[in-house]
């Protein structure tokens, strides 16, 4: 029998961790182990989590220094002895058939299984746009290069513990540790598949807005690290150059929003001009910022208040 362990990193998640654990307890295919890793919370996260110990095969780890979800997941996986690892964020919720769907997909394809999810403002309706759609995984031969272009996997994934150990596990990236791990798994030969239907509600709230300049810098570090570690992969280097161009342009765009909010429209326009080196939406948003900084910021904030449009990256 294949065993599954669930890892949930939690930082100040008192408001949501109970719902996350309730969704695990309601699975039609129950996990063999659940680990909640408290990432130096200052609220009652651990108290709420421990209240589920009689309902789940649950261990709660606390007393650690806050290092972000990557370090917490690393500690949680180290505490597991299961064949497969399923990741769940403390503010997300699984639909009852999530683990059974993920396990079936893994048996059919192996490798790395990304859940299909729906954006959800807790207490409200789900958004119409999924993340990712069931067709999000590119063809197998294109997956590594596509992943270098953009992290197309949802953070809630399932993979073999042996694969995780083979590639060295989560490393010290903050906010982008999953992208770094996926790249190393796919480079090692793992095939990405996506669950055939949405089985996760991905909660969107004020702390899950689009990437800050600091997070984009971490994304740049992930891409630069991959290229450094694989200098002989010419195709990867070519894709990485395009990705870095886009990310650096996004950094300038984020900085232009910060300047505009502080009333420094001259600086906002100057930063937006450098963001024009990007592509697609980045160029459009940069042009809007150069034309009317105050209106551009107001429009962006309206979009970010709308769960239909919020994204992780």
Burial 224-258 (b: 16+ CB within 10 A, else e): ebbbeeeeebeebeebbeebbebbbbbbbbbbbbe
Q: What is the pTM of this model?
A: 0.88
What is the SS3 assignment for 266? Answer: helix
What span, in angstroms and rounded, lies between the C-alpha atoms of 227 and 306? 36
What span, in angstroms and rounded, lies between the C-alpha atoms of 286 and 270? 10
Domains of the chain by residue range: 4-208, 213-304
Report the pLDDT value the prediction gives residue 304, as an integer from 0 to 100.
Answer: 62
| pLDDT tier at 124, thresholds 50, 70, 90 | low
What span, in angstroms and rounded, lies between the C-alpha atoms of 91 and 15? 8
Report the pLDDT value the prediction gives residue 122, as an integer from 0 to 100.
Answer: 62
Residue 310: is its pLDDT beyond 50? no
- Per-residue pLDDT tens for 177-219? 999 999 999 999 999 999 999 999 988 765 544 457 788 999 9
Structurally, at CATH architecture level, domain 4-208 sits in: Alpha-Beta Complex (3.90)
What span, in angstroms and rounded, lies between the C-alpha atoms of 226 and 17? 34
Q: CB burial class (10 A; 0-12, 13-18, 19+) of residue 214?
A: exposed
Instruction: Give the mean pLDDT of the chain.
Output: 88
Percent of the chain with pLDDT over 90: 70
The three-state (H, E, C) secondary structure of 154-217, written as one string = CCCEEEEHHHHHHHCCCCCCCCCHHHHHHHHHHHCCCCEEEEEEEEEEEECCHHHCCCCHHHHH
Paired with 33 in beta bridges are 5
């Amino acid at each position: 029998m294949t065993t599954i362990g669930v890892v949930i990193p939690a930082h100040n998640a008192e408001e949501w961790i109970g719902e996350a654990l309730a969704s695990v307890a309601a699975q039609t295919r129950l996990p063999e182990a659940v680990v909640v890793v408290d990432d130096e919370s200052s609220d009652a996260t651990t108290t709420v989590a421990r209240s589920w110990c009689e309902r789940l095969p649950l261990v709660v780890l606390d007393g650690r220094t806050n290092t972000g979800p990557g370090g917490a997941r690393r500690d949680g996986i180290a505490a597991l002895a299961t064949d497969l690892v399923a990741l769940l964020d403390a503010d997300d919720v699984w639909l009852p058939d999530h683990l059974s769907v993920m396990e079936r997909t893994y048996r059919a394809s192996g490798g790395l299984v990304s859940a299909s999810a729906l954006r959800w403002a807790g207490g409200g309706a789900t958004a119409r746009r999924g993340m990712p759609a069931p067709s999000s995984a590119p063809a197998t031969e294109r997956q590594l290069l596509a992943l270098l272009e953009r992290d197309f996997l949802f953070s809630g994934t399932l993979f073999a513990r042996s694969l995780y150990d083979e590639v060295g596990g989560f490393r010290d990236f903050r906010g982008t540790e999953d992208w770094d791990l996926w790249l190393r798994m796919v480079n090692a030969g793992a095939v990405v598949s996506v669950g055939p239907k949405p089985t996760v509600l991905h909660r969107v709230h004020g702390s899950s807005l689009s990437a800050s300049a600091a997070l984009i810098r971490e994304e740049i570090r992930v891409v630069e690290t991959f290229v450094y570690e694989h200098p002989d992969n010419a195709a990867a280097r070519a894709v990485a150059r395009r990705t870095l161009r886009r990310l650096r342009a996004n950094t300038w765009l984020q900085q232009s929003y910060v300047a505009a909010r502080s009333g420094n429209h001259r600086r906002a326009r100057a930063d937006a001009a450098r963001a024009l080196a990007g592509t697609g939406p980045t160029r459009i948003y940069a042009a809007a910022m150069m034309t009317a900084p105050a209106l551009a910021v107001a429009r962006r904030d309206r979009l970010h208040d709308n769960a239909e449009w919020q994204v992780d990256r």
